[in-house]
Amino acid sequence: MIEEFIPLAIIFGVLGYISIHDLKYRNIPFFTIYLLFALSPIYLYLSGANFTNASMCFLFTFGVFTVFFILGRGGFGFGDVIIIAIMGWIVADFGALETYMYILGICLAIWWGICIIWYKKKLRCKGWLHGFRRTIDTKDLKPGMVLESDNFMRGLNEKKIKDIQGKLDEVDIKEPMPFIPAVFISTLIFFVYTGVM
């Protein structure tokens, strides 16, 4: 039905925007998360999905990826967890969620491999199991960069950068992996595979 396609198309538009933003800045704008939270129940209602099943899928994906977030120690942000959980909510059925998680797992594995090569060769980062780190001169710090010691992935602002530059010559920063492009691709594959799009 065209009614359910409109919010789904907007959801994909928002996911595309988040993917580009994540690639450029390595973070997710909060307003996009709120927008996805607002659009998801509209899509679920128009598609005739069971809200109870959808909510259980949301809680399941949220729980699984929260564990990955904790174990990853800053390899990706909590915004990524919320976006994946919202996609679980949109899938709305545990049978379909199994297929979605399988597709997502393959896409994330391929994406992880691409990122490892990029970060190691181009950025000369160290580590990969718990996210990538590199040492830079403090004069090269930019707003949005994340300190290696920050497990909550809060980006630096101008004031914090000036404080650091006054005290240190070098600092270790995290290079968080942009996961949302892989989530966008896997969600698109899932909806094409299941015949919704």
The predicted-structure confidence for 135-171, as pLDDT tens digits, reads as follows 889 898 888 777 877 766 667 888 888 888 888 889 8
Cβ–Cβ < 8 Å for 58, 13: no
More confident call, 9 vs 79: 9
Measured between alpha carbons, how far is 173 from 154 in angstroms, rounded to an integer? 11
Measured between alpha carbons, how far is 89 from 96 in angstroms, rounded to an integer? 11
What's the token pair of residue 128?
């990969």
Which pLDDT band holds residue 4 (cuts at 50, 70, 90)?
confident
More confident call, 178 vs 20: 20
- What number is the average pLDDT over the span 117-134? 68
pTM, full prediction: 0.82
From residue 85, alpha-carbon distances to 12, 57, 80 in Å are 15, 8, 9
What's the token pair of residue 73?
């120690």
User: What per-residue confidence (pLDDT) applies to 123?
Assistant: 65
User: What per-residue confidence (pLDDT) applies to 120?
Assistant: 73
At a CB cut-off of 8 Å and minimum separation 6, what does 53 contact? 92, 93, 94
pLDDT > 90 fraction of the chain, expressed in percent and rounded: 48
Which pLDDT band holds residue 72 (cuts at 50, 70, 90)?
low
At a CB cut-off of 8 Å and minimum separation 6, what does 84 contact? 61, 62, 65, 104, 179, 183
User: What per-residue confidence (pLDDT) applies to 174?
Assistant: 78
- What number is the average pLDDT over the span 55-74? 86
